[in-house]
A and B are shown apart, each in its own frame.
Chain A
Amino acid sequence: MTLTVKNLSHWYTNPDEALYRDVNLTFEDGKFYAIVGESGSGKTTLLSFLAGLDLPATGEIAVNGKAIEQIGLTAYRRHEVSTIFQAYNLLTTMSAYQNLATALAITQSSRAKDKAYIFDVLAQVGIDEQKAVKSVQKLSGGEQQRVAIARSLAVDAPIVLADEATGNLDHDNSLKIIELFQNLAHQHGKTVILITHDQALALKADKKILLEKQRFTQVKA
């Protein structure tokens, strides 16, 4: 599975003030990518394009050569990609368990009602059963971030996008999550793309892409 970005340019109001121009990137399955850049450089905007949450001004994002618009943005978000947001974006009226169950139901996964599976995925990120059935509002910031990660893991999408996924985690938990991402890529053949400003974490990736001065440059990790 190959995720490609072709001739992507984007601006908000004035084309002369483009965020970036003619971006061409290729993401392969089984690889763990890190996109690094300064704050406000447009990393999250690119992620939103890759996540199918928005469309660029020009250019195309394709999966195996098929534009995501052709796939249908809703279908793309449902079946091809899972996103871990910087702000967690959990459903606050629900528990951790229910958040995962909701995501699995939306993606029409056969495991939507598999309790054991859901609890197992939560356990992988350090959320035990007792915390899993609590309202997410009663969890700490770090725990909520881990639930958000678990939700992404649970739906088992081919493409995993993570926007500052370890920002609220301590060092040890951050490393555990990075290991999870590596595992997803290497063991399960996923395409994992991490947006981060943390250079140390970026080094853990297979490939590092640097966003600087409106340009993306792929460098060795």
Chain B
Amino acid sequence: MNFIKRAGITLWAKKGRTLLLIVTAAVILLFVMTGLIIQNAALQAAKTATNSVGSTVTLSTNREAAFKAMQSEMSSVSSSSNSGSNRPKMTEYTTSLSAVEKIAQLSNVASYNITNTAQVAASGFSAITSDNSGQGGQFNNDNAAISLSGVSTTAGNSDFTSGSNKIKNGRGIETSDKNSNNAVISQELAKSNNLKVGSTVTVKYTNDSDDTSTYKLKVVGIYADTTSDSADSFRDPANTIYTNYTMVNTVKNTPDQVSNVSFTMADSSKTQAFVKAATKDINTKQMQLTSDSTAYEQTAKQMQTVASYANKIVWVVTVAGALILGLIIILMTRERRHESGILVALGESKIKILGQYFVELIVILAIGLGIATASGQAMSGVVGKQLVNQSISAAQNNQTGTNGAGAVPGNMQAGGRQGFNNHQISGSLANKQSLQTVITPGTILELGGVALLIAVLSVAGASSTILRLQPKKILQDD
């Protein structure tokens, strides 16, 4: 009859007390487990956020320099010349394609997407007319109602990666469409003009010298616009036609020139290092590199906040649990002083008596751990969802009134939309911020460690009264 067997006999003999202790332990461990699961899930989500949300660096016209150049030009000609069509225009600086490809070879570039635009007129088909077509000047007719948006691939373009646009028929623009006239049009444009995949549309481009050129585009895909927002109040986004950037360069007669590139980082933490390296390959008087890790940092920060909350839950509940269980064990150990005295009088060592109490508590905690594990998955899912929702809500409140927050700077010419808008950022973040609360063997081990700690602290606290007393006094006091 060793002390382990004595522990079993005692637990069985006092079933009611044992059951109460198991329930108490299960409740405490359930809260600790919930905290651990959420903490681990949030940390994992923060880590994943860097890969899924990512960080981008945009190479674009140095608008400040372009504006200064325009101002300088304005001041150098007579004021009468600065009116109407003679007014100096802000130059859209470009860089060579080879320079872009060189920068793309730098480490940490996961992918890149070249974008450019040209305003063209529909020929042989009609552009979509929007309700606010009365606003604005030159856009108030069909002459330049079509926005030709050049991209490397539609899959890498922010309008598509954000979920605003989705390919409904055919395919998107791919890298193989380089130097082709393949195009992707909107569903509205296709419907109103009876166009389908395989159709050909003609557009006209008028340059600064009022020379007009005609270009045929072959429809390879049709996209649907899932949002009602329009960053541009003068044009209906349905009038955006996506082509490979080489097509836009052909239309604008700017071969091998790039005005806007978006580089996606493989490791968001190395963004600044990339910017520093890439700056050496550009003319900073004309081009600029701007990084935007807002989405990544925001997502990672929110997940880390959730992890921090969960960590606090874990500590608070662990300490509270240890105290509660410890006090209960101390009370019960005091009740069992007489039993301890008998065992000591029989010649049992005090250490083995403490060992018996420890084994009893471990058995109770093990059963409690089983119950907590069984119900922890459900509880952590509910609590985790609440925490994430609160976190997103706080983020959305912070973003209200911040126009274009997270928009990629310098991406003004990137197409029908100005990079991410507020709705897209929140939606994007919300998509990334669902916590994957699962119970892993690691979580159970961690919880087991917490249970063991509670057992050790509880028995240690309770044991001092036993260790200090002499058996005669124990037996006489009772």
Chain B contacts for A101, CB-based, 8 A = 1
In the docked arrangement, what's the CA distance between A102 and B339, Å? Answer: 12
B343-397 at interface with A (beta carbon < 8 Å): 343-349
Chain B contacts for A79, CB-based, 8 A = 347
Chain A contacts for B346, CB-based, 8 A = 77-78, 102-103, 106-107
Is A51 interfacial (CB 8 A cutoff)?
Answer: yes
Q: B9 and A98: CB pair below 8 A?
A: yes
Chain B contacts for A98, CB-based, 8 A = 1, 9
Chain B contacts for A112, CB-based, 8 A = 1
Q: B342 and A90: CB pair below 8 A?
A: yes
Q: B9 and A53: CB pair below 8 A?
A: no
**Known contacts A77-B347, A94-B9, A102-B6: A89-B475 contact under CB 8 Å:** yes
Closest to B342 in A: A89
CB distance from A76 to the nearest CB of B (A): 8
Chain A contacts for B343, CB-based, 8 A = 91, 102, 106
Closest to B6 in A: A102
Closest to A77 in B: B347
In the docked arrangement, what's the CA distance between A198 and B140, Å? Answer: 125
**Known contacts A98-B9, A135-B13: A89-B1 contact under CB 8 Å:** no
Q: B1 and A77: CB pair below 8 A?
A: no
Interface size bracket, B side: 20 to 34
Is A83 interfacial (CB 8 A cutoff)?
Answer: yes
Is B468 interfacial (CB 8 A cutoff)?
Answer: no
Q: A104 and B10: CB pair below 8 A?
A: no
CB distance from B359 to the nearest CB of A (A): 14
Chain A contacts for B348, CB-based, 8 A = 74, 78, 106
Is B276 interfacial (CB 8 A cutoff)?
Answer: no
Closest to A54 in B: B472
Is B35 interfacial (CB 8 A cutoff)?
Answer: no
Chain A contacts for B339, CB-based, 8 A = 91-93
In the docked arrangement, what's the CA distance between A130 and B6, Å? Answer: 21
**Known contacts A53-B471, A104-B1: A77-B345 contact under CB 8 Å:** yes
Chain B contacts for A89, CB-based, 8 A = 338, 341-342, 345, 475
Q: B6 and A74: CB pair below 8 A?
A: no
CB distance from B250 to the nearest CB of A (A): 93
Is A24 interfacial (CB 8 A cutoff)?
Answer: no
Which of A74, A93, A106 is the most central at the interface, judged by chain B CB atoms within 10 Å of its CB?
A106
Q: Mark A77-116, 1 if CB is under 8 A from B, else 0.
A: 1110001010101111110001001111111000010000
Closest to A55 in B: B470
Closest to A83 in B: B345
Q: A102 and B475: CB pair below 8 A?
A: no
Is A173 interfacial (CB 8 A cutoff)?
Answer: no
Is A2 interfacial (CB 8 A cutoff)?
Answer: no
Q: B13 and A85: CB pair below 8 A?
A: no
Q: A78 and B347: CB pair below 8 A?
A: yes
Which of B13, B343, B349, B473 is the most central at the interface, judged by chain A CB atoms within 10 Å of its CB?
B13
Is A48 interfacial (CB 8 A cutoff)?
Answer: yes
Which of A75, A91, A112 is the most central at the interface, judged by chain B CB atoms within 10 Å of its CB?
A91
**Known contacts A53-B470, A85-B475, A101-B1: A93-B349 contact under CB 8 Å:** no
B430-478 at interface with A (beta carbon < 8 Å): 470-473, 475
Q: Mark A135-172, 1 if CB is under 8 A from B, else 0.
A: 10000000000000000000000000000000000000
Q: A93 and B472: CB pair below 8 A?
A: no
CB distance from A216 to the nearest CB of B (A): 19
In the docked arrangement, what's the CA distance between A172 and B235, Å? Answer: 116
Closest to A108 in B: B347
Chain B contacts for A102, CB-based, 8 A = 1, 6, 343, 346
Q: B345 and A51: CB pair below 8 A?
A: yes
Closest to B471 in A: A53
**Known contacts A83-B345, A89-B475, A135-B13: A105-B470 contact under CB 8 Å:** no
Q: A105 and B349: CB pair below 8 A?
A: no
In the docked arrangement, what's the CA distance between A90 and B344, Å? Answer: 12
In the docked arrangement, what's the CA distance between A143 and B471, Å? Answer: 24
Closest to A157 in B: B347
Closest to B478 in A: A87
Chain B contacts for A135, CB-based, 8 A = 13
Is B2 interfacial (CB 8 A cutoff)?
Answer: yes
Q: B347 and A94: CB pair below 8 A?
A: no
Closest to B2 in A: A105
Q: B13 and A93: CB pair below 8 A?
A: yes
CB distance from B332 to the nearest CB of A (A): 13
Chain B contacts for A78, CB-based, 8 A = 346-348
Which of B339, B472, B473 is the most central at the interface, judged by chain A CB atoms within 10 Å of its CB?
B472
In the docked arrangement, what's the CA distance between A85 and B344, Å? Answer: 13
Chain B contacts for A107, CB-based, 8 A = 346-347
In the docked arrangement, what's the CA distance between A91 and B471, Å? Answer: 15
CB distance from B87 to the nearest CB of A (A): 100
Chain A contacts for B344, CB-based, 8 A = 74, 77
Is B14 interfacial (CB 8 A cutoff)?
Answer: yes
Closest to A94 in B: B9
Which of A53, A87, A91, A104 is B472 in contact with, Cβ under 8 Å?
A53
Chain A contacts for B13, CB-based, 8 A = 93-94, 135
In the docked arrangement, what's the CA distance between A51 and B342, Å? Answer: 12
Q: B342 and A91: CB pair below 8 A?
A: yes
Q: B347 and A106: CB pair below 8 A?
A: yes
CB distance from B246 to the nearest CB of A (A): 87
A44-81 at interface with B (beta carbon < 8 Å): 48, 51, 53-54, 74-75, 77-79
10 closest cross-chain pairs (CB), A and B: A78-B347, A93-B13, A54-B472, A53-B472, A77-B347, A105-B1, A101-B1, A102-B1, A48-B472, A106-B348
List residues of B whose CB falls within 8 A of some A CB.
1-2, 6, 9-10, 13-14, 338-339, 341-349, 470-473, 475
Question: 7 pairs across A/B with beta carbons < 8 Å?
Answer: A85-B345, A89-B342, A93-B10, A93-B14, A102-B1, A106-B346, A107-B347
Apart from A107-B347, A135-B13, 18 more pairs, CB < 8 Å: A53-B345, A53-B472, A54-B471, A75-B347, A78-B346, A83-B345, A87-B475, A89-B338, A91-B342, A92-B339, A93-B14, A94-B9, A98-B1, A101-B1, A102-B1, A103-B346, A104-B1, A107-B346
